[in-house]
């Protein structure tokens, strides 16, 4: 019997008892399961005496482990090391062996040891998710060889025909995380089916029936990782009814635990993963990239990073970048440290003062400005890393003495290319290509521009994150001096751009790291383009004209009206397109009603082309705000539009204050809904002072429409939102209250609204 040759795509990959299991999809959409023997390895840099201890320890394992000595290159010194290679002949036990040895040896002797076995396989073979080619499978079902017609960094590639089933909780205003009962909807092929949960066995049989009928390649869920799939599996075990979630019934589910961690000044919660075998389970609520760039973005990143699609969809951008670096290290025979090994170098106080600064930010000139040009450096930080070869092992290398970094006088290696710029280079090139294709196709009316837009958006987040990850304390390929070097180059570039602009007669209004706002009377688009060319030529970093504003507003700080804020602004380009950053309509924790009001005010002000016209339209914008104030005062506002969504920073029992967040977290905890730091809560304010009612706020889960809402607090939010837009025109809270005929000295009671129930109950 001759081998089968499958022309198609590598769809799924995971470890199994016979090595690595691989699923392929051919051009007709037919799925093929294959396996390939594989022996994953990791390395230890230890002495011959310690090697004998390792040999004694691995003898205790009831499966085959072999040891040998090989030469590998150490990243920072670039020296050849003689290291011990531990070969684990059972792919499912790789992690177990590593953990056993870690209990007896320090972390810094381990290399390539904390990588999943399927990743190691992809790194060593050069395969990647959705790789298109010809795959040979013998009569035993073993993948014997392949010939790829694709590359991991290709900009033009095809996708297999994929079928999708949506497995969702029935839409409701309460988050599925807080429900005590579950009503499931299944959608595929344009049809939606509802499943009731009063008979769990019937639900399981119905789910299996739909899985058989649809045989989906992708199971798309909301809260599937945290709630839905664990619930179905639990019912399956209790009722002894097998589930057909896995296409490969011989494999189990691949799960991880939920976690909370501190990043960029806040606590973030991440649900555990629930991955399937032979299908993709994608949870839109547990995937940053699915939310930002859809499936096109996830696939784009998975191909680059060589992370299986299910794993990639749940990974952080830092993990994605790290995987690209790991792959580069494998291809170039470098050892990969299990933990970060390079401490921060000693610095004098003078050097520390120079180095410990971020990107350059200028405080804006507050208020409204007209005919302002916005210039934006294109991928500034990644471009700096690529152009200047900034990488952990190249900054202050041991072989050069060139004082290449502005101000800091750090050296940068000229004898070898760094791991960071080499992994960023294809991302920078691909994003540039996708942006051009998006622009070309959109202009021609070709609907496929959305695909390129989603791909470039996914790459954008990688480029945004790469700089922060360079200085991240736990990044295995991170070094603070490299992070400081990029900042130094960026400060030098923005100052150079400022000097060039001012020498041409432009007034400098504001700048944030890689973006600046300029004004020059009578300056045309061609004038700004000419300025961009000169700046790009001198800084060696491409800068482009983002647009010219009819008007732009830099509002004051909410804490002090005399202090500007760097990252809050709103304006309308001459094309009538709006750009908003940091104000209420853009914030996720702003109630929908406040967002809608401010959005409608901006629609009115957006008709203005000059500041004089903005002043003229201010009265109409105020009238719109007054409508919302009257709606709130009447007690007829939709409570579902007053829901506030926040993240808790600690467990409910750790709160010592009586803030709304604390009370809501405790109420949910007492009801048996255990939340971890970083998880979100939703609630409606009843009495923010806590003086009139026993509860400051009520969780949305327990909210009833006759509970009412805190009128004055929500009106105060309206005033704050109005002030953001109109304070520069003289409208502060006191003026607004007088204009609206409000003279409130005492807090009003919350209004009950039982009559509103008819609007929400059919």
Q: What is the CATH number of the domain that holds 514?
A: 3.90.1600.10
| Distance, CA of 608 to CA of 617 (rounded, Å) | 7
Lowest mean pLDDT among 422-426, 506-510, 728-732: 728-732
The percent of residues above 90 in pLDDT, for the chain, comes to 65
For residue 357, the model assigns a pLDDT of 79
Using DSSP's 3-state secondary structure scheme, residue 445 falls into: coil
What pLDDT band is residue 1 in, cutting at 50, 70 and 90? very low
Asked if pLDDT for residue 314 goes beyond 90, the answer is yes
Lowest mean pLDDT among 178-192, 312-326, 418-432, 707-721: 178-192
Which of 546, 564, 582 lies at the terminal end of a domain, its last residue? 582
Question: Do the domain assignments include residue 414?
Answer: yes
Mean pLDDT, range 183-198, rounded to an integer: 85
Number of domains in the chain: 4
For residue 755, the model assigns a pLDDT of 32
Higher pLDDT, 460 or 744: 460
**Per DSSP, what are the bridge partners of residue 570?**
553, 580
For residue 674, the model assigns a pLDDT of 82
Residue 402 tokens read as 């060139």
Which distant-in-sequence residues (6+ apart) come within 8 Å of 103 by Cβ?
none
Q: What is the mean pLDDT of the chain?
A: 88
Which distant-in-sequence residues (6+ apart) come within 8 Å of 529 by Cβ?
545
User: Quick check: 731 and 555 in contact, CB under 8 A?
Assistant: no
DSSP letters spanning 694-754? S-SEEEGGG--GGG---HHHHHHHHHHHHHHHHGGGT--HHHHHHHTT----SPPPPPP-G
Mean pLDDT, range 410-433, rounded to an integer: 91
Lowest mean pLDDT among 14-23, 60-69, 563-572, 727-736: 727-736
Q: Are residues 66 and 27 part of one domain? A: no
Question: Do the domain assignments include residue 505?
Answer: yes
CB atoms within 10 A of CB 318: 18
Q: Which domain holds residue 13?
A: 4-36+130-148
Q: What is the dihedral of CA 551, 557, 563, 565, to 10 degrees?
A: -60
For residue 694, the model assigns a pLDDT of 80
Shortest CA distance to 664 belongs to which of 701, 631, 689? 701
| Distance, CA of 486 to CA of 496 (rounded, Å) | 15
| Distance, CA of 654 to CA of 649 (rounded, Å) | 10
Question: Do the domain assignments include residue 190?
Answer: no
Asked if pLDDT for residue 744 goes beyond 50, the answer is no
Query: How do strand 164-169 and strand 218-221 relate by DSSP bridges?
Result: parallel
Q: What tens digit of pLDDT does each residue of 508-526 get?
A: 999 998 899 999 999 999 9
Q: What tens digit of pLDDT does each residue of 53-72 get?
A: 999 999 999 999 999 999 99
Q: Are residues 639 and 693 part of one domain? A: yes
Q: Are residues 559 and 536 part of one domain? A: yes
For residue 263, the model assigns a pLDDT of 63
Using DSSP's 3-state secondary structure scheme, residue 87 falls into: strand
Asked if pLDDT for residue 717 goes beyond 60, the answer is yes
Radius of gyration of the chain measured on its C-alpha atoms: 29
Q: Are residues 19 and 49 part of one domain? A: no
Q: What tens digit of pLDDT does each residue of 197-246 get?
A: 667 888 899 999 999 999 999 999 988 998 899 989 999 999 999 999 99
Mean pLDDT, range 75-85, rounded to an integer: 93
For residue 261, the model assigns a pLDDT of 67
Residue 317 tokens read as 């951008």
SS3 content of the chain, % helix, strand, coil (to 5): 40, 20, 40
Residue 304 tokens read as 């680059």
Within 237-294, strands assigned E span 254-255, 259-263, 266-270, 274-275, 280-283
Asked if pLDDT for residue 758 goes beyond 60, the answer is no
Number of alpha carbons in the 13 Å side-chain half-sphere of residue 315: 24
Asked if pLDDT for residue 127 goes beyond 80, the answer is yes
Q: Are residues 75 and 22 part of one domain? A: no
Q: What tens digit of pLDDT does each residue of 623-680 get?
A: 999 999 999 999 999 999 999 999 888 888 888 888 888 999 998 888 888 888 888 8
Q: Are residues 707 and 645 part of one domain? A: yes
For residue 394, the model assigns a pLDDT of 92
Asked if pLDDT for residue 347 goes beyond 90, the answer is no
Instruction: Please give the helix or strand (H or E) that residue 528 lies within, else none.
Output: helix 525-539
Q: What tens digit of pLDDT does each residue of 480-512 get?
A: 898 899 999 999 999 999 999 999 999 999 999
Which of 548, 567, 582 lies at the terminal end of a domain, its last residue? 582
CA angle 506, 510, 513 (to 5 degrees): 115
User: Quick check: 438 and 456 in contact, CB under 8 A?
Assistant: yes
Which distant-in-sequence residues (6+ apart) come within 8 Å of 244 by Cβ?
207, 208, 211, 212
Q: Is the dihedral of CA 531, 533, 538, 544 positive or negative?
A: positive
Question: Do the domain assignments include residue 53?
Answer: yes
Phi, psi of 192 (to 5 degrees): -125, 135
Using DSSP's 3-state secondary structure scheme, residue 761 falls into: coil
| Distance, CA of 247 to CA of 235 (rounded, Å) | 19
For residue 88, the model assigns a pLDDT of 96
Which distant-in-sequence residues (6+ apart) come within 8 Å of 108 by Cβ?
337, 339, 341
Shortest CA distance to 756 belongs to which of 644, 664, 631? 631
Q: Are residues 22 and 80 part of one domain? A: no
Question: Do the domain assignments include residue 16?
Answer: yes
Asked if pLDDT for residue 173 goes beyond 90, the answer is no
Which of 100, 116, 148 lies at the terminal end of a domain, its last residue? 148
Q: Are residues 534 and 387 part of one domain? A: yes
- pTM score: 0.82
Residue 681 tokens read as 């809560």
CA angle 277, 281, 284 (to 5 degrees): 165
CB-count burial class (<10 Å; 0-12, 13-18, 19+) for 20 = buried
Question: Do the domain assignments include residue 66?
Answer: yes
Label residues 114-147 b or e (16+ Cβ within 10 Å = b).
Answer: bbbbbbbbbbeeebbbbbbbebbbeeeebbeebe
| Distance, CA of 107 to CA of 112 (rounded, Å) | 12
What pLDDT band is residue 719 in, cutting at 50, 70 and 90? very high
Q: Are residues 530 and 673 part of one domain? A: no
Phi, psi of 148 (to 5 degrees): -85, 140
The alpha carbon of residue 148 and the mean position of all alpha carbons in its chain are separated, in whole angstroms, by: 31
The percent of residues above 70 in pLDDT, for the chain, comes to 93
For residue 265, the model assigns a pLDDT of 62
Query: For the domain that residue 81 is a member of, what is the CATH number?
Result: 3.30.70
| Distance, CA of 453 to CA of 455 (rounded, Å) | 5
| Distance, CA of 761 to CA of 263 (rounded, Å) | 42
For residue 630, the model assigns a pLDDT of 93
Q: Are residues 403 and 369 part of one domain? A: yes
Distances (CA, A) of 219 to 159, 184, 363: 17, 14, 48
The alpha carbon of residue 92 and the mean position of all alpha carbons in its chain are separated, in whole angstroms, by: 30
Mean pLDDT, range 125-142, rounded to an integer: 96
Query: For the domain that residue 637 is a member of, what is the CATH number?
Result: 1.10.132.60
Shortest CA distance to 563 belongs to which of 555, 575, 574? 555
For residue 13, the model assigns a pLDDT of 97
Lowest mean pLDDT among 1-15, 27-41, 578-592: 1-15
Running DSSP on this structure, what letter comes out for residue 674?
A: -
Phi, psi of 282 (to 5 degrees): -115, 120
Question: Do the domain assignments include residue 271?
Answer: no
Question: Do the domain assignments include residue 381?
Answer: yes
For residue 551, the model assigns a pLDDT of 97
Asked if pLDDT for residue 178 goes beyond 60, the answer is no
Shortest CA distance to 555 belongs to which of 715, 712, 732? 732
Q: Are residues 138 and 75 part of one domain? A: no
Q: Are residues 412 and 370 part of one domain? A: yes
For residue 564, the model assigns a pLDDT of 86
Q: Is the dihedral of CA 431, 437, 443, 447 positive or negative?
A: negative
Mean pLDDT, range 691-706, rounded to an integer: 87
CB-count burial class (<10 Å; 0-12, 13-18, 19+) for 717 = buried
């Amino acid at each position: 019997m001759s081998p089968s040759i499958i022309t198609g795509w590598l769809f799924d990959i995971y470890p199994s008892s016979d090595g690595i299991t691989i699923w392929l999809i051919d051009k007709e959409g037919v799925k093929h399961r294959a396996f390939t023997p594989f022996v994953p390895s990791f390395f230890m840099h230890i002495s011959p005496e310690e090697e004998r201890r390792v040999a004694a320890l691995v003898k205790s394992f009831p499966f085959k482990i072999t040891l040998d000595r090989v030469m590998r290159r150490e990243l920072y010194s670039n020296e050849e090391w003689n290291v011990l290679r531990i070969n684990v002949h059972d792919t499912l036990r790789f992690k177990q062996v590593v953990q056993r040895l870690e209990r007896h040896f320090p972390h810094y002797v381990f290399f390539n040891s904390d990588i999943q076995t399927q990743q190691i396989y992809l790194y060593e073979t050069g395969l990647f998710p959705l790789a298109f080619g010809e795959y040979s499978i013998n009569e035993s079902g073993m993948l014997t060889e392949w010939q790829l017609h694709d590359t991991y960094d290709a900009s033009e590639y095809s996708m297999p025909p994929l079928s999708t089933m949506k497995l969702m909780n029935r839409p409701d205003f309460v988050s599925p995380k807080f429900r005590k009962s579950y009503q499931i909807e299944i959608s595929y092929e344009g049809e939606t089916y509802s499943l009731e949960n009063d008979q769990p066995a019937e639900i399981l049989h119905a789910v299996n029936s739909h899985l058989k009928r649809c045989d989906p390649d992708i199971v798309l869920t909301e809260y599937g990782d945290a709630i839905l799939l664990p619930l179905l599996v639990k019912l399956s075990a209790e009722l002894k009814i097998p589930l057909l979630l896995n296409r490969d019934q011989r494999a189990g589910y691949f799960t991880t635990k939920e976690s909370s961690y501190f990043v960029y000044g806040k606590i973030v919660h991440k649900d555990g993963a629930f991955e399937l075998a032979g299908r993709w389970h994608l949870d839109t609520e547990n995937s940053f990239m699915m939310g930002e760039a859809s499936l096109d973005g996830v696939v784009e990143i998975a191909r680059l990073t060589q992370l299986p699609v299910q794993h990639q969809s749940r990974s952080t951008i830092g993990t994605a970048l790290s995987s690209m670096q790991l792959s580069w290290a494998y291809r170039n025979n470098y050892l990969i440290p299990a933990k970060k090994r390079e401490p921060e170098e000693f610095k004098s106080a003078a050097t520390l003062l120079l180095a410990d600064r971020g990107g350059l930010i200028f405080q804006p000139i507050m208020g409204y400005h007209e005919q302002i040009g916005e210039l934006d450096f294109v991928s500034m930080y990644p471009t700096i890393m690529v152009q200047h070869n900034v990488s952990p092992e190249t900054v202050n290398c041991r072989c050069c003495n060139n004082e290449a970094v502005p101000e800091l006088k750090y050296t940068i290696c000229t004898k070898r290319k760094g791991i960071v710029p080499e992994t960023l280079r294809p991302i920078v090139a691909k994003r540039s290509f996708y942006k051009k294709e998006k622009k070309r196709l959109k202009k021609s009316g070709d609907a496929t521009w959305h695909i390129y837009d989603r791909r470039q958006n996914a790459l954008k987040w990688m480029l945004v994150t790469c700089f922060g990850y360079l200085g991240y304390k736990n990044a295995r390929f991170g070094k603070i001096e490299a992070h400081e070097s990029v900042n130094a180059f960026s400060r030098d570039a923005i100052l150079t751009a400022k000097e060039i602009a001012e020498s041409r007669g432009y007034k400098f209004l504001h700048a944030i790291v890689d973006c600046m706002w300029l004004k020059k009377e009578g300056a045309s688009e061609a004038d700004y383009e000419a300025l961009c060319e000169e700046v790009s030529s001198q800084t060696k970093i491409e800068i482009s004209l983002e647009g010219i504003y009819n008007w732009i507003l830099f509002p004051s700080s909410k804490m002090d009206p005399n202090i500007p804020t760097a990252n809050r602004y709103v304006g309308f380009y001459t094309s009538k397109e709006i750009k908003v950053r940091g104000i209420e309509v853009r914030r996720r924790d702003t109630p929908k009603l406040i967002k809608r009001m401010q959005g409608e005010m901006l629609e009115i002000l957006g008709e203005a082309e000059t500041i004089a016209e903005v002043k003229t339209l201010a009265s109409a914008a105020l009238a719109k705000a007054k409508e919302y104030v009257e709606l709130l005062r009447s007690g007829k506002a939709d409570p579902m539009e007053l829901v506030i969504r926040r993240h808790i920073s600690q467990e409910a029992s750790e709160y010592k204050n009586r803030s709304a967040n604390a009370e809501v977290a405790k109420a949910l905890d007492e009801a048996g809904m255990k939340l971890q730091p970083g998880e979100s809560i939703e609630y409606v304010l009843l009495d923010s002072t806590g003086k009139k009612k026993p509860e400051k706020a009520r969780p949305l889960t327990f909210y009833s429409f006759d509970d009412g809402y805190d009128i004055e607090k929500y009106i105060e939010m309206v005033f704050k939102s109005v002030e953001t837009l109109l304070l520069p025109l003289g409208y502060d809270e006191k003026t607004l209250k007088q204009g609206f005929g409000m003279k409130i000295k005492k807090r009003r009671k919350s209004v009950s609204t039982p009559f509103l129930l008819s609007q929400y109950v059919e």
